[in-house]
Structure 1
Amino acid sequence: MVSATKRRIIWVDIAKALGIIAVVFGHAIDSQRDIRSFDLVYDAIYWWHMPLFFIIGGFFLKPLSHNWKAIRHFWSRRCKPLVISYFLMGSLLIMLSHFVRNQDWSYTAFYFVRLVYGGRTLNNYLSIFWFINVYLLTLIVVIFIISWVRSVVLQWVISLTLFAIGTIHQQPTFLGHPYFPWDVQVVLMTTTYMLAGYYGFRFLHTISHKYMTLLAIGIFYMLLIHDQFTKKINFTLYLKSDNLNHTGLALIAPLVLCLGVILVSQIISELKLFHWLVFLGRHTVLIMFWHRALFDLPEIVGLPDHWLLKCLIGLLIPLFAIIIWKQFKHFLMHHRPKQFVSS
């Protein structure tokens, strides 16, 4: 039982690591999209990397008891830390952007207003913060569905109906404003992804032919990429901008491709060579918050503004910061004055 639990945690962290690598890589090559090959890779990554985090977010959800104590516990344990980190990290990055990019104070002051409004109004250093908005709202919606809607069939009817509405009515306006607060309209689609993670997690161990399943998924992925390259299809899935152009593929492709990522994670979790991904996967939130700001570092220190260098900096510097912080805390714990240790 213990070893099974450990394996489960390892492959989940590895899956998150693969997801955050794809996120940073996608943002790093964004400026290269005038090149056809980069544009194709960009689209192919976006078919699965953000849905993956919503699917994983559903893995360990549990229905709440129908009382205020359970609701308060859910808020304090799952929601409140996200809200605090969102505003804390957002404020730090707004001030950092002010000084690094020489922005005027009126722009900076209004950015704090945008931080409250969230969603697509956030750009530059905070462009990825929409994810925290949508993830938190999706978490609340899915918890409500699995806790207060008893019928599993009805749960799926609700989520798929929301998905259909979200894909049919794209980029709606909110009181005349082009952007919804906290990108709330995107929750219509991400609810299905997270619910799929909630129910799919318990069936993952029943997949007996992992390599054959993975091969089939790989062929499916290659066919999608081929058809995209030859312009037989034009499949885009940009959740932040609520921009997708194929409802069926937007539902099926992310679920299938994320299953492939999960199977790859389970397979390589048995190989010690890839266990460095576990550390990466356990700190995806910090990397997600800071990698866009770190993309300015090469220009500041006079290094080439190359997509690969930005990708490495966005991934590695947060990890180095975490390692240094842990070593510092370890040092403090073992070099405290005796009177504090004894107390």
Structure 2
Amino acid sequence: MWKRRGTVKIKCAKIKPDLIIAYLTKEFQNGDIVEKKRIEWLDIAKAISIILVVLGHAGHAYLDIYLGWFRMPLFFFLSGILFKPVLFKNYINWASNKTFRMMLPYFVYGIAIYIIFNIQNLSLLPEHLYNLLYWGSGLQGPYGVFWFITVLLITQLLLGIIANFYKWIQFSIIAVMFIAGHLQVVTEIDWPWNINVVMIAIFYYSLGYYCRNIISKYHDSLSIAFVSAFLAVLAILIDVNGYLDFYLNLKMSSYNHFILDIIIPLLFFMPIIYISNLITRFPIKELLKVIGKFSIVIMYLHLPVNIFFRTILDYNVTTFEFTILGVIIPVILGYIFSLTKPTRVLFLGIK
């Protein structure tokens, strides 16, 4: 608009809200995002990660403790490598699609598992649905890993917003969340969907996103993998001998040292990535790539499968059998689900 001051015309520009958002964000800098391509070593790393998750749930005390140091942080880290930023203007549509694709299988698996184990008592199904809607760490038994899905979803949705801001703002938000997530006032509350764990998980997830170029450059570095593996083994030995009191369990919000919660899990990442890259040279990679492809199906079903053997079939599986059954049967089911469009949508969240 124009204002008249004497005989001189002065032009006053309107400040639009969109420009304020653009200033605080880097939306105006973003171009089109290229489609993700499958990376062999990443699929294999996901396979190793999910196998370690299954192995940790097999009931061996020491395996559960030491695999717990890094197995879930690793899964978030690997998932973060594939994170694709989204512009603010596309966020609602993106978030809606992602929520639908992740939560539909969440409820389909939850209902199917309930029916299989409670076919004689379906009257409690509404209460079970409420539990799926609310609980995180409170979901136990065959639903013991369902917390991961909701935490992963909220982590992705949150980073989808944060990633639009300048890097210093992104890093500041994530750092504050990670530190605040360790506060007792946060960890002692039983939050719906384990939403408090997002404050920790987003660190590992975003680390995969921010470091993916570095990982791509050094994923085949033997020296980095060797040093990391040496330090990881050293940390375990120090803990075994009573000189280190470290415990990490994301589901139960059991983490009490934000410095070690950064360092120790990271020591295990590069050795596993290096081994995954090494495996790409051998025929067994094809099997592991399939396992990696159906890692979410394994996440959902490895506990129900083994509980079915132990309770319904009255067969007490060993640690080895628990791992094999918990991986192979879900992979077979995942392949079957992939054959038709309805089952792909319902069980895999893909079209």
TM-score (ref. length: structure 1): 0.82
Equivalents in 2 of 1:121, 1:313: separation in Å?
25
Structure 1: where are the runs of 5+ without partners? Answer: 34-38, 330-343
Contact 1:17–1:284 (8 Å) recurs in 2: yes
Q: Is 1:169–2:184 an aligned residue pair? A: yes
Contact 1:119–1:182 (8 Å) recurs in 2: yes
Equivalents in 1 of 2:295, 2:185: separation in Å?
29
How many angstroms does 1:258 deviate by?
A: 1.7
* Gap change, CA 1:246 and 1:95, over 3 Å in 2: same
Q: Which residue pairs with 1:158 in the alignment?
A: 173
Contact 1:217–1:260 (8 Å) recurs in 2: yes
How many angstroms does 1:322 deviate by?
A: 3.6
Structure 2: where are the runs of 5+ without partners? Answer: 1-35, 341-351
Equivalents in 1 of 2:283, 2:264: separation in Å?
30
Q: Which residue pairs with 2:248 in the alignment?
A: 237
* Gap change, CA 1:77 and 1:113, over 3 Å in 2: closer
Equivalents in 2 of 1:166, 1:198: separation in Å?
20
* Gap change, CA 1:286 and 1:205, over 3 Å in 2: closer
Equivalents in 2 of 1:97, 1:109: separation in Å?
15
Equivalents in 2 of 1:116, 1:217: separation in Å?
40
Q: 1:123 aligns with which of 123, 140, 145?
A: 140
Q: 2:117 aligns with which of 97, 102, 112?
A: 97
Q: Which amino acid aligns with 1:27?
A: H
Contact 2:178–2:200 (8 Å) recurs in 1: yes
Residues 212-263 of structure 1: per-residue CA shift (max 9 Å, x gap): 1111011011111101111111211100000023221111222231232222
Contact 1:28–1:310 (8 Å) recurs in 2: yes
How many angstroms does 1:325 deviate by?
A: 5.5
Equivalents in 2 of 1:209, 1:275: separation in Å?
19
Contact 1:171–1:241 (8 Å) recurs in 2: no
* Gap change, CA 1:298 and 1:253, over 3 Å in 2: same
Equivalents in 1 of 2:303, 2:219: separation in Å?
40
Q: 1:308 aligns with which of 310, 320, 328?
A: 320
Larger Rg computed on CA atoms: 2
Equivalents in 2 of 1:122, 1:305: separation in Å?
22
More helix by share: 1
How many angstroms does 1:114 deviate by?
A: 0.7
Contact 2:142–2:307 (8 Å) recurs in 1: no
Residues 305-336 of structure 1: per-residue CA shift (max 9 Å, x gap): 3222122111111122344556x76xxxxxxx
Q: Is 1:273–2:284 an aligned residue pair? A: yes
Q: Which residue pairs with 2:47 in the alignment?
A: 17
Q: Which residue pairs with 1:259 in the alignment?
A: 270
Equivalents in 1 of 2:200, 2:55: separation in Å?
24
Q: Write the mapping of 1:31-180 to structure 2, written as runs, cut at 5 A.
A: 32-33=60-61, 39=62, 41-67=63-89, 70-99=90-119, 105-106=123-124, 108-147=125-164, 149-150=165-166, 152-169=167-184, 172=187, 178-180=189-191
Q: Which amino acid aligns with 2:204?
A: Y
Q: Which residue pairs with 2:330 in the alignment?
A: 318
Q: Which amino acid aligns with 2:142?
A: Y
Q: Which amino acid aligns with 2:278?
A: I
Equivalents in 2 of 1:165, 1:291: separation in Å?
33
Q: Which residue pairs with 1:199 in the alignment?
A: 210
Q: SS at 1:305's partner residue? A: coil
How many angstroms does 1:208 deviate by?
A: 8.1
Equivalents in 2 of 1:114, 1:121: separation in Å?
8
How many angstroms does 1:111 deviate by?
A: 2.0
Q: Which amino acid aligns with 1:87?
A: F
How many angstroms does 1:303 deviate by?
A: 3.2
* Gap change, CA 1:170 and 1:135, over 3 Å in 2: farther
Equivalents in 2 of 1:182, 1:250: separation in Å?
22
Residues 131-155 of structure 1: per-residue CA shift (max 9 Å, x gap): 00100010011111111x21x1231
Q: Which amino acid aligns with 2:72?
A: M
Aligned length: 305
Q: Which residue pairs with 1:218 in the alignment?
A: 229
* Gap change, CA 1:305 and 1:62, over 3 Å in 2: closer
Equivalents in 2 of 1:241, 1:325: separation in Å?
31
How many angstroms does 1:49 deviate by?
A: 0.9
